């Protein structure tokens, strides 16, 4: 038996056939890529010409496209045919495999495109460290499994100095204990909202949160079908 909502639409086809594929975030260790820029906007993170897709994957090769390549890009242009900008930090090993990005204030400003978070994740980033973030980008990050860490500007300066003084400097992000631990064992605590922390630790996006209540939703719809059978398309 299929469960329908009040408008005769099958609930399972809308909710239960989706999969929650957000990766859990517990403890991440990786190279930190320094992006010594303030006000990095979402158009810089993923330019507007790449926004036609609504899939979460496939944006990594065009993350920071205008800075990453010397030639203009478009969805119908193969990146392999474009000249790489040798001076851009994310084109240099080991930062081309970095898992953590550090930047200056107001990261993610500009338009509200969720694709910016998708592009960062598809590149390989699991977290961004900055003194401040644009509100919409900050919220979108949590919804998609990217951890935005806000630290005081002085601490961010300290981390920049460490990262820039040693190529491939690594840190560990321990979300459970809410600590950033450097490879030289300095520890920096960071704040995370309890609900958002729960979602990241358990890999729960909006669909995942809904699926936690799948049995309750089915029970409610079954009850509605019994109480108002005329609403359920004769099933």
Quickly state the pLDDT bin for 76 (edges 50, 70, 90): very high
Residue carrying the six token digits 């495109």: 113
pLDDT tens, residue by residue, 12-50:
444 444 455 788 999 999 999 999 999 999 999 999 999
Confidence of residue 110 (pLDDT cuts 50, 70, 90): very high
Measured CA to CA, the distance from residue 70 to residue 89 in angstroms comes to 14
End-to-end CA distance of the chain: 8
Q: pLDDT tens, 155-189? A: 999 999 999 999 999 999 999 999 999 999 999 99
pLDDT band at 220 (very low <50, low <70, confident <90, very high): confident
Residue ranges, CATH 3.20.19.10, the chain: 23-191
Q: Distances in Å between the alpha carbon of 147 and those of 19, 131, 172?
A: 21, 14, 13
The kind and range of the H/E element at 101 are strand 100-103
Distance (Å) of CA 120 to CA 15, 97, 116, 161, 165: 27, 12, 6, 23, 24
Q: Which residue in 28, 199, 35, 198 sits closest to 129, CA to CA?
A: 35
Read out DSSP for 29-70?
EEEEEEE--SS-BHHHHS-GGG-S--SSSS-GGGTTHHHHBS
Sheet of 187-189: strand order equals 147-150, 127-130, 100-103, 27-35, 170-174, 179-182, 187-189
What fold characterizes domain 23-191? Aconitase; domain 4 (3.20.19)
Which residue do the tokens 């951890």 mark? 147
DSSP state of 129: E
């Amino acid at each position: 038996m299929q469960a329908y909502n009040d408008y005769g639409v099958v609930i399972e086809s809308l909710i239960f056939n989706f999969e929650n594929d957000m990766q859990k975030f517990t403890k991440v260790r990786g190279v930190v890529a320094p992006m010594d820029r303030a006000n990095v906007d979402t158009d810089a993170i993923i330019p507007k010409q790449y926004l036609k897709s609504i899939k979460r994957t496939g944006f990594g090769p065009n993350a920071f496209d205008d800075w990453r390549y010397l030639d203009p890009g478009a969805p119908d242009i193969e990146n392999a045919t474009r000249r790489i900008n040798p001076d851009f930090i994310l084109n240099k090993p080991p930062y081309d495999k970095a898992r953590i990005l550090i930047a200056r204030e107001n990261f993610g400003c500009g338009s509200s495109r969720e694709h910016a978070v998708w592009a960062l994740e598809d590149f390989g980033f699991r977290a961004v460290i900055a003194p401040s973030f644009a509100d919409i980008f900050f919220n979108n990050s949590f919804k998609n499994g990217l951890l935005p860490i806000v630290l005081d500007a002085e601490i961010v300066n300290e981390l920049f100095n460490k990262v820039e003084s040693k190529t491939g400097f690594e840190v560990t992000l321990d979300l459970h204990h809410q600590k950033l631990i450097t490879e030289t064992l300095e520890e920096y605590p960071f704040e995370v909202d309890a609900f958002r922390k729960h979602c990241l630790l358990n890999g729960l996006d909006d669909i995942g949160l809904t699926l936690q209540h799948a049995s309750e939703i089915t029970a409610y719809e079954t009850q509605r079908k019994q109480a108002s059978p005329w609403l359920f398309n004769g099933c």
